[in-house]
Amino acid sequence: MTGKLLGGLVGSVLFLVIACAAGGVLLLGGGGAAACTAPTPSGAAPISAPAGGWKAVGRFDVEQVGHAATIAAVGAQMGVPMRGWIVAVATAIQESELRNLSGGDRDSIGLFQQRPSQGWGTGEQLRDPAYAAGSFYQKLLTVPNWQQIPLTDAAQAVQVSAYPDAYAKHEPDATLLVDSVAGLIDASGAPMVDCAGAVGPWTQPVLAPVWSGFRTAERPTHDGVDLGAPQQTQIRAAAAGTVTVVRCNALDVRDDSDWGCDRPGDPDLTKGCGWYVKIRHADGIVTVYCHMLTHPFVHEGQAVAVGQAIGVVGSSGHSSAPHLHFEVHLGDSSPTDPVPFMAARGAPLGQPF
Measure the N-to-C terminal CA separation of the chain; round to a whole number of Å.
Answer: 35
Cα separation, 45 vs 137, whole angstroms:
21
Cα separation, 172 vs 180, whole angstroms:
12
CB 34 within 8 A of CB 82: no
pLDDT tens readout for residues 303-317: 887 777 799 999 999
SS3 helix, strand, coil % of the chain, rounded to 5? 30, 20, 50
- Cut 0.85: pTM above it: no
Classify strands 303-304 and 285-292 as parallel, antiparallel or unpaired. Answer: unpaired
Binning pLDDT at 50, 70 and 90, where does residue 38 land?
A: low
Range of weakest confidence among 107-111, 130-134, 270-274: 107-111
Q: Is the pLDDT of residue 340 over 90?
A: yes
Binning pLDDT at 50, 70 and 90, where does residue 140 land?
A: very high
CB 67 within 8 A of CB 92: yes
Q: Which residues contact 162 (CB under 8 A, 6 or more apart)?
A: none
Stronger pLDDT, 32 or 93, i.e. the higher one = 93
Characterise 79 by phi-psi region: left (phi > 0), alpha (psi -120 to 50), beta (else): left
pLDDT tens readout for residues 271-295: 999 999 999 999 999 999 999 999 9
Cα separation, 192 vs 200, whole angstroms:
17
pLDDT for 204 equals 86
Range of weakest confidence among 1-15, 65-79, 114-128: 1-15
Please, what are the domains in the chain?
3-181 (no CATH), 210-344 (2.70.70.10)
Nearest Cα to 271, choosing from 309, 303, 307, 318? 318
Cα separation, 99 vs 346, whole angstroms:
37
Q: Is the pLDDT of residue 254 over 90?
A: yes
pLDDT for 35 equals 65
CA 275 vs. chain centroid, Å, equals: 21
pLDDT for 144 equals 87
pLDDT for 79 equals 85
